């Protein structure tokens, strides 16, 4: 959960404390999603599919995160 929050802070910036940094956002969000959060995995898939928040558009990464989210949902 903490990695998710740190990633979101970097995604949009958080005042003077945390500057917007897409690379760090991706690092923290992917690390958090690797822990099995299907909602975050789905969000990552959409960010990669549509280039939301400045994410690089990547069909292959979007497909990977959609698949991982689907697997997690079936396990719950």
pLDDT value, residue 16: 86
CB 49 within 8 A of CB 43: no
pLDDT tens across 16-33, in order?
889 999 999 999 999 999
Measure the CA–CA gap between 7 and 31, rounded to whole angstroms: 9
Q: What is the pTM of this model?
A: 0.89
Closest listed residue to residue 8, CA positions, set 50, 43, 46: 43
Question: Which residues of the chain register pLDDT less than 50?
Answer: none
**What is the distance of C-alpha 56 from the center of its chain?**
12
pLDDT value, residue 17: 87
């Amino acid at each position: 959960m903490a990695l998710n929050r740190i990633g979101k802070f970097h995604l949009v910036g958080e005042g003077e404390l945390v500057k917007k940094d897409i690379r760090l956002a991706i690092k923290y969000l992917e690390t958090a999603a690797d822990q099995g959060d299907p909602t975050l995995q789905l969000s990552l898939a959409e960010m990669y599919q549509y280039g939301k928040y400045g994410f690089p558009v990547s069909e292959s990464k979007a497909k990977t995160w959609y698949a991982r989210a689907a697997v997690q949902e079936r396990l719950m």
